[in-house]
Amino acid sequence: MAKGFYISKPLGILGILLGVGALCTITALSVVYDQEKNKNAANSDLVQTTPGPISSTTLDQSKPWNRYRLPKTLIPESYNVRLRPYLTPNNEGLYIFEGNSTVRFTCKDATNVIIIHSKKLNYTSKSVLREVGGSQAPEIVNTQWILPTEYMVLHLASSLVKNKQYELDSSFVGELADDLAGFYRSEYMDGGVKKVLATTQMQAPDARKSFPCFDEPAMKATFNITLIHPKNLIALSNMPPRGNSIPLPEDPNWNITEFETTPKMSTYLLAYIVSEFTSVEDVSSKGVQIRIWARPSATREGHSIYARNVTGRILDFFAQHYATPYPLEKSDQIALPDFNAGAMENWGLVTYRESALLFDPFSSSISNKERVVTVIAHELAHQWFGNLVTVAWWNDLWLNEGFASYVEYLGADYAEPTWNLKDLIVLNEVYRVMAVDALASSHPLSSPEDEVNTPAQISELFDSISYSKGASVIRMLSDFLTEDLFKQGLTSYLQAFCYSNTNYLNLWEHLQKAVDNQTAIKLPASIRTIMDRWTLQMGFPVITVDTATGTITQKHFLLDGNATRPSEFNYLWIVPITSIRNHVTQDTYWLNGTQEAQSELFRTAADEWVVLNINVTGYFQVNYDNNNWKKIQNQLQTNLTAIPVINRAQVINDAFNLASAQIVPVTLALNNTLFLSRETEYMPWQAAMNSLSYFRLMFDRTEVYGPMQAYLRKQVTPLFEHFKKVTNNWTERPQSLTDQYNEINAISTACSNGLQECETLVSKLFADWMSHPETNTIHPNLRSTVYCNAIALGGEKEWDFAWEQFQNATVVNEADKLRSALACSNKVWILNRYLSYTLNPNLIRRQDATSTISSICSNVIGQPLVWDFIRSNWKKLFQDYGGGSFSFANLIQAVTRRFSTEYELQQLEQFKADNMDIGFGSGTRALEQALEKTKANIKWVNQNKEEVLKWFKNNM
């Protein structure tokens, strides 16, 4: 599953520079189902529901149905599932689906209970049990529904027989709710007419909401899906139809579509959709059918073409990369108006948010295009790694998502070879997650299996540690093994475990076999010994170099405080260290799990400098002795190209993090930005903007902010003039992807820091559009920054115009740009009005509500409004949006990111105390991190404010 939040390049830049840096397209907005709607209409006497939702701590754990993990007594073999969704409401105003299912399972150990997952399903007749082969099965004497563990429990008159197979038939009705989970409905407007479709999102624990099933990833089975649907609509599922749809005998207005049997697979990868969508098609070089499905108007307007064009290339790349053919005969991908995550890797039928799959060349920016190709690559990578071979339990989610988050850059790079996408992993994944992993409240990549049981605990794992740290350490592993050796082990792993389940140790074993079968690459220890230190303990080291002696040391890097979680490795790592000394690349050096070592590789002469961690392939940060820092600064001021561009970004990023942790003076980090007046490359500038965003958050309400703006205005002016010339006075776009991104940096930084020429430029572009609203001549790349700055500089007239354009937008990427820019207003009353809109789904879609709130609170003027709003409305917000994997965590992070006073800390602690009874769901860990971060902010501001003010005044 792709990350549920997404920061576009232009909006991310704007956020850093204008205080709206959390313009995440935060998703995963699961709406809590109203229990009152879940009526056991027929055969209510069959249902013995455990009263109320009961805390698991009150349940008798000796009873297997009170434990969140399924017993291993029954193993599913196959399912036959028949579903009929109704896309118009019934007499009670509810959308429902009818279903019946048959599961065949093998009894591994004799038992007199059948425990199977079921959630919010109303059973319309007694379940029927039979033994395969004709013998009489035990009678079902009692049925229970256990709400906390989400089980249907069938008590039997006698025990099932070991090694015998049985089948269980069930008939049921469920609500086709708009909660973005299980089998749900999505709505959209087309020509003023509301359209409804039925779709699915099963990951992690919601297949049980669609039909009774053994809903754990290791409980793989085959599935025969049949959909009954209106004859004018299309039915899709993981597999192709067995043949043409046939009319339903009792009602010819409905068709029956039966699909081919799936391979052996996990329940969370199931998908089925009924809609009026249309597709564009292609066939890959290996004969795989490719279809991109979307709303008919989006298909007609060509928004699916780009996705179709890159899918075949990406499938071919991964088939070659894994040395394993694509496992299915078709690859459907579909863009949904309402969707829980960024995308979901359902086998053979991948579901996406519209913004992650559709691209309109007339209104979508280059970052929208990059988003599409990388998300497609992420999901298609899962078709092998995750679908063909699946982790046995969610505690190893990091392996699944971290791997896909790494190789998405490889697949996208193959599809767009001129973009240098592989470099961007450093900014997008490595540095982004280090900010979280440097907190004492972080957690290891891999958790003990018994620590992950409940749906809420599973949901918490879908975080940046699993995705981005997972990607970072797997990239490091691939780098020190070499990509070819890594692929050999990977291929062996996939072929050994296809259609089954694994844990991370299985991958290490197969990589070790690849290492053992050659002699060129020599490691200081086994793969497991090296990698255990990166996966089983949280955080990462800072490597400190003394170039006078060649001594290197390592220490657990923490922004503040000490790690409270013990580590069997004492927070020491086995670290591969690459380096450059005065332009010359040196051999890799291994710091082999010790705190200190020495090497002549790192001892320099008076006229030499050394830079460690070439292209930031290692997951660590670097500190130098003061003399080497000065040599690096001098090199950047005289001939910056002597240091690779990624390492120029690293020099900025690492120094600011070291300063935040009080390891180096804050002035050293600021001195590392002086060379930017000569820099035109994207990555160093973006690293600086990311780093200085913290200064903005800490100081944009203080007297430091004016001198800071003056300094940034001075530094960015040469960059602004450079791109003015390159783009022929902003009428053309630069050639390369990163230059296009840095053009946006130039305009955003210049405008937000008061460069008059820039303010005039964006105001004129926006005014021209207001004069001719039917013709938007602002280039899609520049729209986010122009919209935001023009709205910030303008008033009610500009905001109302943008709101009208948002309401009329037919392309989701354009709507997202406007929705985010509307949060840039400097008028308190306008932001308050906009905030009220977020609770009205007719104005702001449910899936966009929390990202819009985050956008408003990232504006320095909007932040206190949102904080008051959240405290006043926590119960409603939590009920409506708290179940998602990403939304609440990011909302809590966004609203607290400026907190830097004792008063704000007291408010946050009071907020926690006041809402303990309601809970914080998937935001629980984020709240603890916010408390920790606020304390660190208070300490940092008290220690550095005067020094920072003095530095900016001296350099403005």
- Which residues are marked as active site? 379
> Residue 21 corresponds to which tokens in the numbers above?
């840096």
Token representation of residue 820:
């985010």
Evaluate whether 762 touches 793 at the Cβ level (below 8 Å): yes
d(CA 608, CA 581) in angstroms, rounded, equals: 7
d(C-alpha 941, C-alpha 700), whole Å: 12
Task: Indicate the helix (H) or strand (E) that contains 169.
Answer: strand 165-175
Is residue 543 within 8 A of residue 553, CB to CB? The reply is: yes
What backbone torsions phi and psi does residue 480 show, to the nearest 5 degrees?
-80, -20
Which residue stretches of 280-365 are H helix? 296-300, 305-321, 354-357
Residues 6+ apart with CB under 8 A from 513: 489, 492
Two tokens, residue 877: 């917000």
CA angle (556, 559, 563) in 5-degree steps: 50
Whose structure tokens read 């709205």? 791
Coil, helix or strand for 861? coil
In terms of Cα–Cα distance, which of 929, 897, 927 is closest to 911? 927
Count CA atoms closer than 13 A to 198's CA, side-chain side. Answer: 29
Length of the chain: 956
How far is 314 from 348, CA to CA, in rounded Å? 14
Closest CA to 28 of 822, 838, 891, 841: 891
Measured over the CA atoms of residue 597, residue 602, residue 605 and residue 609, the dihedral's sign is negative
Strand arrangement, sheet containing 140-146: 48-49, 140-146, 151-156, 113-117
* Secondary structure element (H or E) that encloses residue 575, with its range: strand 574-577
If 0-12 CB within 10 Å is exposed, 13-18 middle and 19+ buried, where does residue 328 land? Answer: buried
372 within 8 A of 307, measured Cβ to Cβ: yes
What CA–CA distance (Å, rounded) separates 940 from 899? 12
CB 97 within 8 A of CB 176: yes
Tokens of 860: 């320095």
Task: Say which amino acid occupies 74.
Answer: L
Q: What are phi and psi of 756, to 5 degrees?
A: -60, -40
Instruction: Sort strands 621-624 and 349-353 into parallel, antiparallel or unpaired.
Output: unpaired
123's tokens: 């059973």
Q: Radius of gyration (Cα) for the chain, nearest Å?
A: 28
Output the CA–CA distances (angstroms, integers) from residue 641 to 134, 294, 648, 678, 680, in the order listed. 78, 46, 9, 11, 11
Spatial separation of the C-alpha atoms in residues 590 and 576, rounded to whole Å: 5
Helix crossing, 366-382 with 780-793: angle to 10°? Answer: 120
